[in-house]
Amino acid sequence: MWVIEMSITLKDIIALVRELPEASFEETYEKLTEIKKKSDAETHEKETEKQKCPNCKSTSTKRNGKNRGKQMYLCMNCRKAFSETSTSAVAHSHSSATVWKQVISDTVDGVPIDETAGKLGLHHETVFNMRHKILYRIEQSLIANPAELTGVCEADETYVLESEKGRRFPENHHRKPRRHGAKASKPGISSEYVCVCTSVTGADEKVAVAVNRASPSNQEILDVFGERVNEKTIILCDGKQSYNVLDGKCTVAVAKRINKVNGFHSFIKEKLDDMRGVATIYLNRYNALFSTIYAADKSAVVDDIYKLMVSPDDSFNTVAHTQSSNLLVL
């Protein structure tokens, strides 16, 4: 994948295109034309959409040049200047849209933070903070707009090894540190595993929420699924009696095969293996990411996440808030 630096010139791009095989010229032209049309459409949409002033909420605003590549606006009511991302999750960021999209792409692919930092010329901590802003924004969006489980829905839980990645253990910790790739010290499902309740519908709505160590309780099943189902929902499970707590809210049935949700389990574990595990306190943030990207088109999902990040909906949070809010503590 090419990482295009902000200082690249048209001459540099032409030189890159000339190195392509002749058979690829037409495909490259079509792709560049598609990108240009999409960019023009987005620019036209921004130009015709009235920007609301974050200070006085007035829509009496006008365009006021650019700063660091971001469109600036001036409020004609309170005379305050603001940018197109002033109240978004990327407010006050010095990184360009190109950099943010690259970090989003690498987050989706599970690329190590140091690798992303190296190719973008950024510090490890900067990319770590950007990645967690992305994960936190996705998670908060799913909390605000929970997936509705309609129609036939497969539900089951999967178990992932608890991880204290990046943390030093106190002397009285309940277990000894493990190396990356090590197995649990006890056989079977134990307190060393974290339970992730999952579901997949026929319409490809996905849910993945870590709830506790070992098996989920009736209350935890109710907490995860209770507000997402309705009388038209049919929950297919493998016979675990905990799901009977949903009786009255929806129909619960036992199925011998629940392949859709098992495929989702495999995807989650594959992603966690690629990342060499993630700290359990951040597990639900990654579950939100997995729910968003599973069976989705890569380029479309990167664009969708970027639009979520730059949406002017008062979603800005400081690094300190992002790192300490809504963590999974078991």
Number of H helices, E strands in the chain: 10, 8
Crossing angle for the helix pair 298-310 and 283-293, to the nearest 10 degrees: 120
Residues 156 and 267 in one domain: yes
Spatial separation of the C-alpha atoms in residues 306 and 48, rounded to whole Å: 20
Across all residues in the chain, what is the average pLDDT? 85
Q: Does a structural domain hold residue 274?
A: yes
Q: Residue 40 — pLDDT band, cuts 50, 70, 90?
A: low
Which has the closest alpha carbon to 132: 330, 292, 319, 326?
Answer: 319
Domain range for residue 75? 59-88
Q: Does a structural domain hold residue 122?
A: no
Cβ within 8 Å of residue 52, ≥6 positions away? 58, 59, 61, 312
Token pair 């090894």: residue: 161
Q: What is the pLDDT of residue 5?
A: 41
Q: Does a structural domain hold residue 67?
A: yes
Instruction: Give the HSE-up count for residue 34: Cα atoms under 13 Å, Cβ half-sphere.
Output: 6
**Helices marked H in 175-282 — which ranges?**
218-225, 259-274
Counted residue by residue, the chain has a size of 330
Spatial separation of the C-alpha atoms in residues 303 and 102, rounded to whole Å: 11
Instruction: Give the HSE-up count for residue 91: Cα atoms under 13 Å, Cβ half-sphere.
Output: 18
- What is the pTM assigned to this prediction? 0.78
Q: Are 151 and 265 in contact (CB under 8 A)?
A: no
Residues 154 and 280 in one domain: yes
Q: What is the mean pLDDT of residues 254-258?
A: 90
Long-range contacts of 237-244, Cβ-Cβ distance < 8 Å, separation of 24 or more: 237/154, 237/155, 237/156, 238/156, 240/156, 240/157, 242/215, 242/216, 242/217, 242/218, 243/155
Q: Does a structural domain hold residue 257?
A: yes
Spatial separation of the C-alpha atoms in residues 155 and 244, rounded to whole Å: 12
Spatial separation of the C-alpha atoms in residues 86 and 99, rounded to whole Å: 18
Q: What is the mean pLDDT of residues 172-187?
A: 68
Residues 196 and 84 in one domain: no
What's 158's domain CATH number? 3.30.420.10
* pLDDT (tens digit per residue) in 232-255: 999 999 887 889 999 889 999 999
* pLDDT (tens digit per residue) in 110-141: 999 999 999 999 999 999 999 999 999 999 99
Q: Are 71 and 46 in contact (CB under 8 A)?
A: yes
Q: How many domains, the chain? A: 2
Residues 291 and 151 in one domain: yes
Q: What is the pLDDT of residue 11?
A: 65
* pLDDT (tens digit per residue) in 65-122: 887 777 888 999 999 888 878 888 998 888 888 999 999 999 999 999 999 999 999 9
| Model confidence at 169: pLDDT above 80 | no
Higher-confidence position of 156 and 55 = 156
Token pair 């009388």: residue: 231
Residues 80 and 224 in one domain: no
Instruction: Give the HSE-up count for residue 108: Cα atoms under 13 Å, Cβ half-sphere.
Output: 22
